Amino acid sequence: MAATVQLMGVGRAAVRNRRLACVLASVLGFAGCVSVPVDQPNDTRLSTWERQEEQLGSSPDMAPPSRSSLVDSLQRSARERAAVGQWDQAGELVLRALRIEPQAPDLYLQLAELRTRQGNTAGAEAIARKGLTYAESGSRVVEELQRYVQSGAVLTQ
């Protein structure tokens, strides 16, 4: 009887160890799926704001100094979705961020970029125009937003 009880204890421990091994393997497997490596800093697949962040770390004139962590998280998630070509989901995340901070010109820039990638140049132009109302003159954001306004104006003529 004692041998039977001892074997049952070993069996449970083995099952528990197998479960733990499966969970760890799943976590490690999914962790590899999350990141998207980018080898070249001037990669044409990257948007303007992605290239600038890569070169500068975090561009000081692209994001307002007092940004909520939720907006940062939404914007980062949108970049990750855009990096894998999920334009619609990325756009939804930026729109959520704009509901929280409607006067953030860098969010309008990001949304204009996404609309352009979706083939909606008219939408990108309208978004860029709205972003220009909140951007500080002379900033890098203004230059980038004006590119979308000018490219949209050229296409509509």
Specify whether the CB–CB gap between 45 and 84 falls below 8 A.
no
pTM reported for the whole predicted model: 0.59
Note the pLDDT of residue 48: 58
Both 70 and 100 in a single domain?
A: yes
Both 100 and 145 in a single domain?
A: yes
**CA 51 to CA 40: how far, in whole Å?**
10
**CA 39 to CA 18: how far, in whole Å?**
37
> Which residue in this structure is represented by tokens 């509901």?
99
Domain count, the chain: 2
Residue ranges making up the domain that contains 52: 48-156
114 found inside a domain: yes
Each residue's pLDDT, cut to its tens digit, for the chain (157 residues) gives: 555 445 455 566 555 666 655 555 554 454 444 444 433 344 445 555 555 555 444 444 455 556 789 999 999 999 999 999 999 999 999 999 999 999 999 999 999 999 999 999 999 999 999 999 999 988 899 999 999 998 765 555 4
Specify whether the CB–CB gap between 111 and 145 falls below 8 A.
no
Beta strands in the chain (DSSP E): none
40 found inside a domain: no
Both 68 and 102 in a single domain?
A: yes
Both 72 and 10 in a single domain?
A: no
Both 11 and 68 in a single domain?
A: no
Both 4 and 61 in a single domain?
A: no
Return the sign of the alpha-carbon dihedral for residues 9, 11, 14, 16: negative
